Amino acid sequence: MTTAIDSSTQQKIDRWLSGNYDADTKAAIQNMMDSGSSTDLIDSFYKDLEFGTGGLRGIIGVGSNRMNRYTVGAATQGLANYLNAAFPHEQIKVAIAHDSRRMSPEFARIVADIFSANGMVVYLFKELRPTPELSFAIRHLGCHSGVVVTASHNPPEYNGYKAYWTDGGQVVAPHDKNIIAEVNKIQSIDDIKFDGVPERIHMIGEEVDDAYVKLVKANSINPDAIARQSGMKIVFTPIHGTGITLVPRVLKELGFTSVHVVKEQAVPDGNFPTVSYPNPEEREAMHLALELAKSIDADLVMATDPDADRVGAGARNHHGQFELLNGNQMASLIIYYLLKAWKDAGKLTGKEFVAKTIVTTDLIDKMCEQQGVKCYNTLTGFKYIAEVIRELEGKEQFIGGGEESYGYLIGDFVRDKDAIASCAIIAELTAYAKDNGKSLFDLLMEMYMESGFYYESLVSLTKKGKEGAEQIQQMMADFRANPPKEIAGVPVVRMDDYKQLKRTNVQTGETTDIEAGRMGIESSNVLQFFTADGSKISARPSGTEPKIKFYVSVTEPLGSKEEFDAVYGQLKEKVKRIIEALNLK
């Protein structure tokens, strides 16, 4: 069935057919026109691929709504124009990296050419590298900006790119909106300077690797425990991505001698042939790693996503079965280990801090409170954590941080989530546990016994199309107009509205301000409800997908390891009641 093409879409198609686009692009458009189906043609041209606050992301192909040399070119030219305006009379330097996806090397070269054509010095990684290393390279090389070509853990047909600022963090206000405005000004490909200046492009690689790995290794707290447990069996998979470049090297240099890489997923491949979705948050993506772990009786399993900024991990539980830890559990374990180590070393002076997002477990807040360490909460997105680190640089010392979506950071030499450094610390804390006759899971239970058993669940509702978007907006409007006084029989004591930046005592109606302009906080369409028994429910519409996400967190004390299963069952039942009470379906 052929769908009628509206005039705006047809104008875009005609512009591409008549403009200075290459012959292959025009031929591909003509093929779509001749195919008899207008669906692909419309989807490729009905809008421009949006340069959002984080950069670009889209399906690879021809058209204004696809990732190709022209959409990448327009985004890069807009960014270059903004950099030239923001840093007049300076020799601007930029760093560029790419992951293992289809077209990633080609797009990275196009970005390098355009920056160089705009008078900038370019440092281009000659081969694929992890996103956190790009963040590190920006500061290490004194760059003003950086770009990594990646679509993170999206399906194989996608690619994208993320833009970074001088501090190595992804761009935040006001630069994000200003860059978008410059990108939107590019109305013709004739405005894009595609012809690179080779002498301005410098290839980088091993020397930056060495500097980065040195700092990752410096995060190590218990080298003696690693030495004693050097033969601990670790299974690692990069899921066909960039993790292969540095994770095995870092583990080896730390002293681990029994690291087993999943061979079927070791070679970088943008088609991700062994998984349906290259995301370590999905159990299916870690299936091969778990099988290998069972066969060799491993102590630890780890998997990084294609650009190696997220890591999933698992270990045997108290029933001897391999269990994957979720992002809240692993973020908490990392902070638990770091806080204990800093305290034992006498390094807690009152000026240290941890940072996490508002939808990440409050167990981290509780542990920080117990150790007298500040915990800053930011909006969802690691760029906000990076913003806090930047604002406090020279005043307070960052210990570590993380978010529930499997992203963690240890130390401040990187300003984005870092799966390389995370793999190193996760392996170390597993060795530390084993050195004390325990497993990673034992450490988890001890943490819960000290600070409370917190359990989190995510409910993601997909509402497609215009009608779906309206339903999501209506859900948020209804919550604001009639906030629940109780959820599953438990009184709601507080509501935080990040859109209005207001905090409400639900029992009295009294409101106070959530500080506008507080580090990592700005107006955002997020609502949080806190109940009398310590539960937290967060509602957050996705900014990029037709989804609304509900983050449910519940807690109970854990008296002993023997009570773990019973309390776990109580918490899961409590989450189930909350989901039913809020009719989240």
Residue 460 a catalytic site member = no
Q: Which of 531, 534, 539 is nearest to 493 (CA)?
A: 531
Supply 70's token pair: 């022209």
Supply 356's token pair: 């996490």
CA 436, CA 503: separation in Å to the nearest integer? 44
CA 528, CA 495: separation in Å to the nearest integer? 6
Distances (CA, A) of 176 to 85, 143, 171, 474, 566: 14, 17, 5, 28, 47
Contacts of 295 (CB under 8 A, 6+ apart): none
CA 300, CA 288: separation in Å to the nearest integer? 14
Amino acid identity at 148: V
CB contact at 8 A, 74 and 192: yes
Q: State the residue for tokens 């001890």.
A: 446
DSSP state of 285: G
Supply 549's token pair: 């996400």
Supply 469's token pair: 């978007």
Name the E strands within 34-137: 55-59, 93-98, 121-125
Catalytic one of 152, 405, 439, 538: 152
Handedness of CA 406, 499, 54, 116 (dihedral sign): negative
CB contact at 8 A, 160 and 150: yes
Supply 231's token pair: 């033969």
Q: State the residue for tokens 């270059």.
A: 80
Q: Taking the CB of residue 319, how many other CB atoms lie within 10 A of it?
A: 8
CB contact at 8 A, 531 and 491: yes
CA 411, CA 218: separation in Å to the nearest integer? 9
Q: Which of 229, 233, 235 is nearest to 247 (CA)?
A: 235
Supply 43's token pair: 């989807």
Q: Which of 174, 181, 314 is nearest to 236 (CA)?
A: 314
Q: Active-site positions? A: 152
